[in-house]
Structure 1
Amino acid sequence: MQPPDPATITRLLRRLPVMRAMRRLTGSGAPSLHDLDMLSRRIILPSMPITDEEMARAEFQDRGLRFARQEQWAELAEAIHDADAARTATPGGESAAMLLAFGARSDVVAMAEDALFDGVAPPQDGIDAFESILNDHPDDYALAMIVAMAHVDIGWAWRNAPAGAGSHAPEDREARFRRHFDRAAGVLAPHSGLAENAPSLAAAECALLAALSQTDRRISDDFEDLIDLDPTGSRHMRALGQTLLPARLGDYHTLELEARRTAARTGDVWGAGAYAWVYLDALALDPGALGLIDTVFFGDGLRDIIARCPDQHTANLLAAFCAISMRPRDDDPAPIARVRAALHANLRWILSDHLHELHPLIWTQALHHPGQTPRLPSRRALISEGRRTALRAIASIFADDIADGGSIAFSPAGMYRLPTI
């Protein structure tokens, strides 16, 4: 997804009640990015280039990588067992056990991804060395989960390899994808996330569902087991929503049904929040999911999420979703446009009541990688882009409040206006 161009910003502002302010500023009805950037200078909002969430993720991933490089497999398994048992998570709700496992397999997966990017088949020695770990620890689910997820990641790398990569035809790449997923399923077959009370293992079992060729009741059942094991883990609900998109393994009616079922089962934890979590990434990836969504229920879900997670990572995540993923589009049919506008409208109260610290990378991610937590290169440029995107979105919402030369400031006590000096 590309950053919004001037024409897109113009169309957005024409749907908002800020055109009066823009006309006062520019003397015309065609606001430019320059206008928004001028208004952005009147927004006082501290920016955090490095956040607690990023540091926590890096700490768990680096620990897993260190264990793997030093071949401390027993220590790595114990750390994953402990994290699963305690349901340890980052401030933003990412599973510590899954992050440890990701770090542990990252060298092997990166080697495969780099080879495929260069158009050659990945060397087998990395994954073969992982497989040998199972011979020494055949009964440990944590190590089996790491090996299985390495196969899953490499399988996805094959499926997503650039067209014409080396001599590998699309049929060959798909066959390699399925071969790795089949092997992952074989590795996990002796284990059960539900029986071992291990959410990370249950999440790995759900990751294997991607190899199914059609909708299967097992999808709902497996995700229900995972979410019941770890109901505080929002990432599981977001993954469910993505999996139920028509482009993957579901349909919009099943997505709506499972969002409501998940909300009903986790009401004591999230209120209506699970309904919003299930839909969050699905909506960002597929506008067709707007067709059945209950906008009032979704808005209640956003409020319940922030009430339970009043941290700035969550506030930025939900604000970026409303501002970027749900920004109005001229090509939407009228019914979808109304739904999108209703969801976009939640941005105002999130900004006014809850945001007091900008996390730029979340906004950059919403532009380029909705629904993912990718490894982002060129950090300084991405931080700058994320900050600029966020401030333009905020300026478009509050242009009437600052068009006379005043400013708005954000603090833990809420947003407030500073008069013209």
Structure 2
Amino acid sequence: MLKKNTPARDLFKQVFATFLPGDGRAQTVQTADGHPVRLPQPTTVQDSTTEPRSHSSAITQSTEQLIVPICDPAHSGSDCAALQDQGQFLARQDRWADLSARIAEADRARRNTPHGLPVAELLAHGARGDVVNAVEHALSLGHAADRRKMIEGVMGLEAMSVEYRDDPYLRTLVALAHIDVAWIWRGYSDVLSITVANGQRCAAHFDRAAALLHPLDGIALDSPFIAAAKTALLAGQRSAGTTQVADDFAALIDLDPDNHRHMRSLGTHMLPRWFGDYTALELEARRTAARTEATWGHGAYAWVYFDAIALDPEACARVDIDFFMDGLRDIVARRPDQEMINLLASYCAVALRYGEEAATKGPPQRAEIVEAAEWLIRDHLREIHPLIWAHAAQRFDNNLRIASPRRFADHGRKDALAFIAKLFRNEIEAGQRVEFSASGLRVSSN
């Protein structure tokens, strides 16, 4: 029984501790047909080197015949890091009102980074980073048995939300922290199965996030930040129907049609492994393209299929390739910046590597998308963004844990240069000089 006149922080400790089960003997969660649920652990990219990183705004990768400017990874992601640092600083100083005001301003203005990341989400990510990282660190050290210690940071956020109970942005921030912790519990399950205890902890955090977000209406508040948080809940609500999921994403996309990440997430959620099927995927791609034609032309059709194709060969086999290719061209016409060109080129060149050893047996759609990398690079590439290429090699996995951004970016640099060298093999073998610059591609005889 809860005690009266308990401080808010301790009160939430008591309440939330009741959601978390004991650490009984590990068992395996099974589906209705008796098979264990298999959940992959997040991938970690390791680095054992300590080489210094260049701080120039552009590095030139030069050989005798191939010259390609390379954007310094230390600068290419600096906008994201700086925004997360701002959120973290304000949270550490308990300047919650200031944090809420900044999130609200960015949300209302639909401010995104050049990489398409919402500024509001980056601020919120930094603000809850200490709490979420502490849980992950404790689990990595095997401290899962100390249940109260594991939720101490989350309870601090809960206490804050009581003080700011009428602030929808801070309420959403706390809900997002619960969703992050839920994913951590799933990620630290056994590689072949999720234990009953960890599965229940995961579900408890998703349930608490749902309770926090339930009173909020992202549409009525004209808030993509809140609407996106509600779609993030879907991962913990596998009973949601295809129509509900599609409608939730449609509402989010209508709030913020400039942000392609919402469309990509819709496509992933429409795969059979989540909430949809291939018919639903095609339908939502066409519906989204029709609704966002003024912004993207046919581009939204390609965005909805973007990650779905990288994850599921059957989705690739079913895509309307003419529609998809028109979509790629419309994206380039509307967003010809180098971040976008690198994203599209690395997607075509690297992210679709699945089944590469049997490419001749793969769907013709895949081959045509891979071939698009050539015109993207020849006609539009001016510099390489290594981090984008590195993420493409991991099929843009959002759960990726990167031990060393420098080493991770180096993988991307090597992938990009290897593909470009292969693309221009005939010119290089003929003794020609291939040079990329801000003025475009120049191929000349030495």
What does residue range 107-126 of structure 1 map to in structure 2 within 5 Å?
107-121=130-144, 123-126=150-153
For the residue of structure 2 that corresponds to 1:345, the secondary structure is helix
The residue aligned with 1:18 is: none
Structure-2 separation of matches of 1:317 and 1:262: 21
Q: Does 1:208 align with 2:233?
A: yes
> What is the CA distance between 1:222 and its match in structure 2?
0.6
The structure 1 residue matched to 2:342, chosen from 309, 312, 316, is: 316
For the Cα contact (< 8 Å) 1:64–1:99, is it kept in 2?
Answer: yes
Letter in 2 for 1:223: F
For the Cα contact (< 8 Å) 2:189–2:198, is it kept in 1?
Answer: no
> What is the CA distance between 1:375 and its match in structure 2?
5.3
The residue aligned with 1:24 is: none
The structure with more helix, counted as a fraction of residues? 1
The residue aligned with 1:349 is: 375
Cα offsets for 1:225-281 (capped at 9, x unmatched):
100000101111111112222222222221111111111100000001111111111
Q: Does 1:79 align with 2:81?
A: no
> What is the CA distance between 1:379 and its match in structure 2?
2.7
Q: Does 1:264 align with 2:287?
A: no
Structure-2 separation of matches of 1:248 and 1:107: 30
The residue aligned with 1:22 is: none
Structure-2 separation of matches of 1:286 and 1:95: 27
Q: Gapped runs of 5+ residues in structure 2?
A: 1-42, 46-61
Taking a change above 3 Å as real, the CA distance of residues 369 and 113 of structure 1, as seen in their structure-2 partners, is farther
What does residue range 153-192 of structure 1 map to in structure 2 within 5 Å?
153-163=180-190, 170-192=195-217
The residue aligned with 1:15 is: none
The structure 2 residue matched to 1:301, chosen from 311, 314, 327, is: 327
For the Cα contact (< 8 Å) 1:93–1:233, is it kept in 2?
Answer: yes
The residue aligned with 1:28 is: none
For the residue of structure 1 that corresponds to 2:431, the secondary structure is coil
For the residue of structure 1 that corresponds to 2:272, the secondary structure is coil
* Bigger shift: residues 39-48 or 346-355: 39-48
* Bigger shift: residues 346-355 or 321-330: 321-330
For the Cα contact (< 8 Å) 1:109–1:153, is it kept in 2?
Answer: yes
For the Cα contact (< 8 Å) 2:44–2:402, is it kept in 1?
Answer: no
The residue aligned with 1:151 is: 178
For the Cα contact (< 8 Å) 2:189–2:195, is it kept in 1?
Answer: no
The residue aligned with 1:9 is: none
For the Cα contact (< 8 Å) 1:53–1:92, is it kept in 2?
Answer: no
What does residue range 224-235 of structure 1 map to in structure 2 within 5 Å?
224-235=250-261
CA RMSD of aligned residues (A): 2.4
Structure-2 separation of matches of 1:304 and 1:105: 37
> What is the CA distance between 1:101 and its match in structure 2?
0.8
Structure-1 separation of matches of 2:44 and 2:73: 24
For the Cα contact (< 8 Å) 2:113–2:119, is it kept in 1?
Answer: yes
Structure-1 separation of matches of 2:302 and 2:267: 10
What does residue range 19-418 of structure 1 map to in structure 2 within 5 Å?
42-50=65-73, 53-121=76-144, 123-163=150-190, 170-214=195-239, 215-327=241-353, 329-331=356-358, 334=361, 336-372=362-398, 374=400, 376-418=402-444
Taking a change above 3 Å as real, the CA distance of residues 79 and 109 of structure 1, as seen in their structure-2 partners, is same
> What is the CA distance between 1:86 and its match in structure 2?
0.6
Q: Gapped runs of 5+ residues in structure 1?
A: 4-38
Structure-2 separation of matches of 1:397 and 1:373: 31
For the Cα contact (< 8 Å) 2:73–2:386, is it kept in 1?
Answer: no
For the residue of structure 2 that corresponds to 1:247, the secondary structure is coil
For the Cα contact (< 8 Å) 1:243–1:250, is it kept in 2?
Answer: yes
Structure-2 separation of matches of 1:49 and 1:373: 24
For the Cα contact (< 8 Å) 2:310–2:395, is it kept in 1?
Answer: no
Number of aligned residues: 383
* Bigger shift: residues 269-278 or 213-222: 213-222
The residue aligned with 1:36 is: none
> What is the CA distance between 1:319 and its match in structure 2?
0.7
Letter in 1 for 2:150: P
For the Cα contact (< 8 Å) 2:345–2:377, is it kept in 1?
Answer: yes
> What is the CA distance between 1:383 and its match in structure 2?
2.4
Structure-2 separation of matches of 1:303 and 1:41: 33
> What is the CA distance between 1:332 and its match in structure 2?
5.3
For the Cα contact (< 8 Å) 1:237–1:274, is it kept in 2?
Answer: yes
For the Cα contact (< 8 Å) 1:285–1:371, is it kept in 2?
Answer: no
Taking a change above 3 Å as real, the CA distance of residues 2 and 284 of structure 1, as seen in their structure-2 partners, is farther
Structure-2 separation of matches of 1:280 and 1:91: 18
For the Cα contact (< 8 Å) 1:145–1:188, is it kept in 2?
Answer: yes
Letter in 1 for 2:78: M
For the residue of structure 1 that corresponds to 2:434, the secondary structure is strand
For the residue of structure 1 that corresponds to 2:175, the secondary structure is helix
Letter in 1 for 2:185: W
Taking a change above 3 Å as real, the CA distance of residues 287 and 118 of structure 1, as seen in their structure-2 partners, is farther
Structure-1 separation of matches of 2:187 and 2:438: 43
> What is the CA distance between 1:372 and its match in structure 2?
2.6
For the Cα contact (< 8 Å) 2:289–2:297, is it kept in 1?
Answer: yes
Structure-1 separation of matches of 2:340 and 2:82: 20
Identity of aligned residues (%): 43
Taking a change above 3 Å as real, the CA distance of residues 352 and 170 of structure 1, as seen in their structure-2 partners, is same
Letter in 2 for 1:185: A
